[in-house]
Amino acid sequence: MAERSTRQRAAVVAALTESMRFVSARHLHRLLSEGGTGVGRTTVYRVLRYLEAAGRVDVVQLQGGERLFRLRGVQGHRHHLICRLCRVSRPVDARPVERWVVEVAGERGFSAVEHTVELVGVCASCHAGRPWASTP
């Protein structure tokens, strides 16, 4: 059974690698199903939780509560500006945010602080094609 789990994990990681964008678990499951890979939705969620705990994916939560996942690059934890319509993402210089987190935590006697910063908007391409669109 462990071998099956490894194959399924590899399939989820491969699909994440190919997507190059932030994707929902639901979308990832659909990509796998359409590609003929027999991975159940529960398994996709389980693998994504594993990857998140292992620090291998960046995760953002949209306003409606949907979580999006993207494989983390070799540079480690990054923040991204994400288009809510097409899900394209652009990394942002997050050093000021990271410094602020360390400063605020230190001032209050905290360490090992985790944080999330979600920057979600409409990219220039989507805005040009749908200037009236502010939400999906």
At 124, the amino acid letter reads A
Tens of pLDDT, residue by residue over 66-96, are: 898 988 876 666 788 888 888 888 888 888 8
Specify the pLDDT at position 3.
42
For residue 78, what are the contacts with CB-CB under 8 A and spacing of at least 6?
58, 72, 91, 92, 94
Q: Where are the domains of the chain?
A: 2-129
* Mean pLDDT computed over every residue of the chain: 83
Whether residue 131 is predicted with pLDDT greater than 70 in this model: the reply is: no
Q: Looking at residues 20-44, what average pLDDT do you find? A: 89
- CA of residue 40 relative to chain centroid, distance: 20
- Decide if pLDDT at 133 tops 60: no
**Is the confidence at residue 8, as pLDDT, over 60?**
yes
Return the amino acid letter for 74. Answer: V
Provide the sign of the torsion angle of the four alpha carbons 99, 104, 108, 112, taken in this order: negative
pLDDT of residue 5: 60
**Neighbour tally for 131: CB within 10 Å:** 9
Class of domain 2-129: mainly alpha
